[in-house]
Amino acid sequence: MSDLIVGIDLGTTNSEIAAFTGGQVRVLGPGDTRMLPSCVGFSAAGELLVGEAARNQQALYPERTVRSIKRQMGSQEKVRVGGKDFLPQEISALILRELAEWAHRALGERPQRAVITVPAYFSDAQRNATREAGALAGLEVVRILNEPTAASLAYGYGDGSRHTVLIYDLGGGTFDVSVVTVEGDITEVLASHGNNHLGGDDFDDLLAERLAAEFEKQHGIDVRKGNPAAKARLWWAAEEAKKKLSFEPYVKIREEALVTRLFRPLHLEVEISRDEYEAMIRPLVESTLDSVSKALQDSGKKPGDMDAILLVGGSTRTPLVSSLLIEKIGLEPRQDVHPDLAVALGAGVMASRLAGRAVERVLVDVSPYSFGVSYLGERGGYPYPHCYKPIIRRNTPLPLTRTERYLTSHPYQTQVDVQVYQGDDEDALKNILVGDFSIEGLTAIEDANEILCRMRLDLDGILEVAAVEKLTGKTKHIRIENALRAKSAEEIAAGRKRIQELYETRGEMADEEWETTEDLEEDVLEGDVLEDDEAAGSNAIEMPAPVHADGNAEIEGLLERSRRLLAKMHAEDREEAIDLHEKIDKAMASRDAAALKEAAGALKELLFFVEGRI
């Protein structure tokens, strides 16, 4: 018998499969997300749909689609889909079969044995139903693994010493928090709490309600009533906006021709700020903290007993989650393992160990350093111009983009100096200066002017820092090569000296040209970013608001735009677009910057023509 054992996260919203291949545990599957939506359905012609295709038709044809079947596992009640009845384990088996097929394609071998994860609170009946689903899909389930255990394995807490960790898992439709002790292969879940009906979908609902209300205000039409297509588009737009708000302080939502009235297309156009969004979801996130308190209490542990907080589930990318956890526990949560894939990777670690491989943890590319900019704030009760808070936090997976919002500190301020540091100290001068530039010619307004500072760090260690005046889109940026290389003692000393000199030569200004945000995007795709490390000036920025981001935002945004347009494209364009998606995926996987640039440029051009035609 082959020694292949796969690890599977059979999730409520998404499912993934992982295995040991190429010297490490990897999540297998097509596309860049490698996540299979846990959705099963039938097309109008009765064809079986599993994953993305089923999820896409869910809003329009709920009677032909089933999602979140995990909630029904263990029940003997059948669910009706497309006119046929199924037991929950039969629906789960269809999802498992598809995942096994993904593994087959990736490894050239069909897996026969699997480790499958389940929530810690699953009863025997629910665990048995999961085993049965495996058997129905042709998989011998060699171990049912608790999800918090899988997460702690993915994060490397199965190394032999004893650790107590808090695992906070917020997915699309469920929330779980567990306090776990891990020692080698033995993991004990001391306490678990949660809410089976709380997750990112609720955040989408709140945002979609806000969009629907805005549309009603603008056009007098309530799209929530009797217009399933418009309603489905609104929820999609809400989810996309929500994800963007995890890394941008503002998001502009535009849905063309959401409704047509008397042959006149009516558009939705609205801008939502992170602050407004966070105010909406705050009560929900705060309710998760009550569960954290209960789990700690039941486990007999105090916040200070925790060695780490591990974040699991796509919705933990929401920055409010991290900031409230830091406030409550006083520990920076770890999110260096991709939160959507952590459970699958942990199942993969267990599967590899059961197959006889000594796998300690999974490997991820993370930034070993924090990066940020200095700002005018308060230290010890006095204004201090070198306050510092990281924008990119160390141990975050690469590539990534993060944006923070700052305000000018004086009325009519027209220039801001941006000093970029590597380090974690609250005093910028104790960190390492890695670059600096000025943004000039800002609109002279009496009120505080918003300046967005966007940082992008890629796998090659290239750090791009842009300052954008929100009001006008005016942008100035620099590119810092080798940002991930450890600095030598001399370089550090030289950096400190430069800071000192910088503040002694205040008032001199560099004469630089302006660029718009569009130019910036163009430049990034062309790989031709402005460099500017010569600057001085006296004006400061103040008040950061934390913002997070994920992924290579430009490329992801491009791919997302393209995917949304696929259905509307002519066959030839669609073929070309799919071909370019594959090229981009490949180039990203092999980190081939030239190929990526070429494919992204070609896709951008194609979309330009496609958008002009439809």
Q: Which residues bind ligand AMP (CB under 6 A)?
A: 11, 13-14, 171-172, 199-201, 239, 242-243, 246, 313-315, 317-318, 340, 550
Q: Which is nearer to ligand AMP, 316 or 475 (CB)?
A: 316
Q: What's the CA gap between 212 and 353, in Å, rounded?
A: 50
Q: What's the CA gap between 400 and 455, in Å, rounded?
A: 8
Cβ 9 to ligand AMP, closest distance in Å? 9
- Sign of the CA dihedral running 315, 317, 321, 325: positive
Q: Which is nearer to ligand AMP, 156 or 314 (CB)?
A: 314
Cβ 568 to ligand AMP, closest distance in Å? 23
Cβ 345 to ligand AMP, closest distance in Å? 13
Q: Which is nearer to ligand AMP, 16 or 450 (CB)?
A: 16
Q: Which is nearer to ligand AMP, 202 or 522 (CB)?
A: 202
Cβ 537 to ligand AMP, closest distance in Å? 35
Phi, then psi, of 308 in degrees rounded to 5: -165, 155
Query: Do 456 and 463 form a contact (C-beta atoms < 8 A)?
Result: yes
Q: CB-based contacts of 178: which residues, under 8 Å, 6+ apart? A: 120, 146, 148, 166, 167, 169, 189, 190, 191, 192, 193, 295
Q: CB-based contacts of 184: which residues, under 8 Å, 6+ apart? A: 158, 159, 160
Cβ 291 to ligand AMP, closest distance in Å? 17
Q: Which is nearer to ligand AMP, 312 or 467 (CB)?
A: 312
Q: Which is nearer to ligand AMP, 243 or 479 (CB)?
A: 243
Cβ 239 to ligand AMP, closest distance in Å? 5
Q: What's the CA gap between 586 and 19, in Å, rounded?
A: 20
Q: Which is nearer to ligand AMP, 242 or 479 (CB)?
A: 242
Cβ 15 to ligand AMP, closest distance in Å? 9
Q: Which is nearer to ligand AMP, 111 or 551 (CB)?
A: 551
What is the amino acid identity at position 542? E
Give the three-state DSSP class for 542: strand
Q: What's the CA gap between 316 and 171, in Å, rounded?
A: 8
Q: What's the CA gap between 458 and 573, in Å, rounded?
A: 30
Q: CB-based contacts of 31: which residues, under 8 Å, 6+ apart? A: 585
Cβ 281 to ligand AMP, closest distance in Å? 10
Q: Which is nearer to ligand AMP, 149 or 318 (CB)?
A: 318
CA angle in degrees (0–180, nearest 5) for 100-101-103: 65
Cβ 358 to ligand AMP, closest distance in Å? 28
Q: Which is nearer to ligand AMP, 201 or 515 (CB)?
A: 201
Cβ 170 to ligand AMP, closest distance in Å? 8
The 3-class secondary structure across 478-536, one letter per residue, is EEECCCCCCCCHHHHHHHHHHHHHHHHCCCCCCCCCCECHHHHHHHHHHCCCCCCCCCC
The helix or strand, by DSSP H or E, that contains position 374, with its residue range, turns out to be strand 371-379
- The CA radius of gyration of the chain, in Å to the nearest whole number, is 25
